[in-house]
Amino acid sequence: MIKEIYTDNAPRPVAPYSQAIIADDKFIFVSGQIPIDPKTGNIIYEPFSEAARMVFKNISEILKACGSGIEKVVKVTVYLSNMDNYAELNKVYEEFFKKPYPARTVVQVSRLPRDVPLEVEVVALK
């Protein structure tokens, strides 16, 4: 069983994808989130820390809409446009995630949608 999730408290999808999918009422797959303020539709490019906070806030709101929360995230994948932001990412990451930390992958990519500095996707438990 697959259920689509949508909340106005996170950015609207800009292409044919769901904000999140709940699979078998157990697992939540949150689509990659970029630093868009859902209230204004504006993209946050700088400072990097604010862009990262916006991404994790949006993920938190999507998880809430799923009946879950950031504390139930088991896997995080982060795409950075510049690996020089890695240390700042870790500082912001620790504001949202506590031990035991989710499994995580961080990679640098050549380009992200709308030339944002990061995109993050997560898998969580319901």
Domains for the chain: give ranges and CATH numbers.
2-125 (3.30.1330.40)
Q: What does pTM read for this prediction?
A: 0.96
Q: Please give the pLDDT value at position 109.
A: 98
Q: Please give the pLDDT value at position 14.
A: 81
Q: Please give the pLDDT value at position 77.
A: 98
Name the helix (H) or strand (E) containing 20. strand 20-23
Task: Quick: pLDDT tens for 33-48.
Answer: 999 999 999 999 999 9
Which CB contacts under 8 angstroms, 24+ apart, belong to 109-116? 109/79, 109/80, 109/81, 110/81, 111/81, 112/34, 112/79, 112/81, 113/14, 113/34, 114/34, 114/43, 115/45, 115/81, 116/34, 116/35, 116/43, 116/45, 116/51, 116/81
Question: Which one has a higher pLDDT value, 124 or 13?
Answer: 124
Are 27 and 124 in contact by the 8 Å Cβ rule? The answer is yes
Task: Quick: pLDDT tens for 54-105.
Answer: 999 999 999 999 999 999 999 999 999 999 999 999 999 999 999 999 999 9
